[in-house]
A and B are shown apart, each in its own frame.
Chain A
């Protein structure tokens, strides 16, 4: 009878029981590999038990027993090693807590900063039972003596549900607007197959042409190995192919033949940075300093010095360096838009107002040498 009358209550009851009594931490197969397991089954069992109490600090919501992270593996083998040195469980846990803090324990000990965490479930349960009792009381009260007729009691209130939906949807939309990805392409990839094929074909044709010019340039260096221009040309074709190692080697050859060519050194600095994920490395910085100490207006070196400052987080320095480049360059120099953009970016990153920049001039085509 009651089951038929109160299906929702029964369901809620079952759910509550499930939440209380089902283990919340159902451990999958441990990440343990065969060679880690100890020969002594009793020690191994203790090792597993300890590992399950320790947080993997890389994944942070897994125990080291579950985690495949290298640090978790190191910690597991440390636990086993300590057990073999006949350390007690508490000694091992204390040792690790001493290195990493209480955070390494998946169950935090009760302390001044964690008692809220531990007491919260009890408080919520008390509050909930209080609410239930209160509503019982309201219901059992004789309706027209205590409460005015209009007082809402247990009836379904569509207006509140409507309001709640509105609030939830509204805030969800707000969050999506803030952290969502409005920049993703609006069209799915599948519908652009044709477009992609054309792009691919052109890219392949370009690649073939680049490879041809690389082979020709290499032949030229074999014909005249003492000509820095030939080496320089080969380095450019290697760069166009994306072969940075060859680019660096050929630039070094060119510099060895023509030690005074500052532009070559700037190019080499740029190549060093390209193989280092665009980080301006120390060898690159040394080259930049060398070039600028001879010619303080060499544009590529100036640009790279600004970039180095930017990467160091020295945004004022970056803007100052790039402003110099801005001043020394012709207003229609091909790198001007990039410099302008970088100055604005550095000012934004450093949170200060960008300096006054005159309006961009139409861009002159980059000559081969500048390329």
Chain B
């Protein structure tokens, strides 16, 4: 009981330790705070049928792509980080079917965007009012979903796709799945 006076200090130290650990692991990047978890992972991808960006072309129906590994990428012309990942999506298009969903974007804006920055997509579906985004649990684009041949979501990434993500996460996932 002699050292009971040290108890507040001990509690303070403990709290400071916990918050300090959280702060520094966030700053050093080991703790991810910017990504919300997706509940879609390991569940069937939502049924998605969208109008095609190209007028007159048939609807973009995700179920037609059963049997192949598909990358679904939500993007928009107003989304600056979406520009940055286009070359990466282009490189992924060699191995996967990359489907774009233009999220809450005017059709002519999407078209101008793809002309200017390049079009890495196999096909682009239009989600004018963002409802499809909600059924996928999209909360901030760019968001990218990897879908296996059975139509299940393997992985979701919120943010720009980069080489590190492709080599460390996406490639192992689709290689074991396919």
Contacts and interface: CB of A to CB of B under 8 A. Distances in A.
A75 B87 contact: no
Given A276-B117, A311-B84, A71 B1 contact: no
A251 B53 CA distance: 31
A149 to B, nearest CB: 12
Interface stretch (B32-40, B54-62, B66-74): B32-40
Interface in A57-75: 57-58, 70-71, 74-75
A157 to B, nearest CB: 6
B87 A281 contact: yes
A281 B86 contact: yes
Contact of B5 (A103, A160, A167): A160
A308 B137 contact: no
B149 interface: no
Interface in B94-121: 104, 116-120
Contacts of A277: 80, 83
Nearest to B135: A99
A279 B36 contact: no
Interface of A is mostly: helix
B162 A312 contact: yes
Interface in A75-118: 75, 78, 97-101, 103
A175 interface: yes
A164 interface: yes
B119 to A, nearest CB: 8
A45 interface: no
Contacts of A75: 134
- Chain A interface size, under 10 / 10 to 19 / 20 to 34 / 35 or more: 35 or more
A75 B162 CA distance: 30
B59 to A, nearest CB: 22
A258 to B, nearest CB: 25
Nearest to A317: B163
Interface of B is mostly: helix
Contacts of A276: 83, 116-117
A281 B86 CA distance: 8
B48 to A, nearest CB: 13
B18 interface: no
Nearest to B23: A175
Interface in B113-164: 116-120, 129-131, 133-137, 139-140, 162-164
A163 interface: yes
A259 B101 CA distance: 37
A6 B70 CA distance: 70
Interface in A148-183: 151-152, 157, 160, 163-164, 167, 171, 175, 178-179
A282 interface: yes
A100 B137 contact: yes
Interface string B9-44: 100110010001001000100000000111110000
A171 B21 CA distance: 13
Chain A to chain B: the 6 pairs with minimum beta-carbon distance, closest first: A282-B118, A313-B163, A57-B139, A101-B39, A313-B162, A99-B137
Given A276-B116, A277-B83, A283-B116, 4 more contacts: A74-B130, A74-B134, A276-B117, A281-B117
Interface of B: 1-2, 5-6, 8-9, 12-13, 16, 20, 23, 27, 36-40, 80, 83-84, 86-88, 90-91, 104, 116-120, 129-131, 133-137, 139-140, 162-164
8 contacts: A147-B1, A152-B5, A164-B8, A167-B9, A179-B27, A282-B118, A283-B117, A312-B162
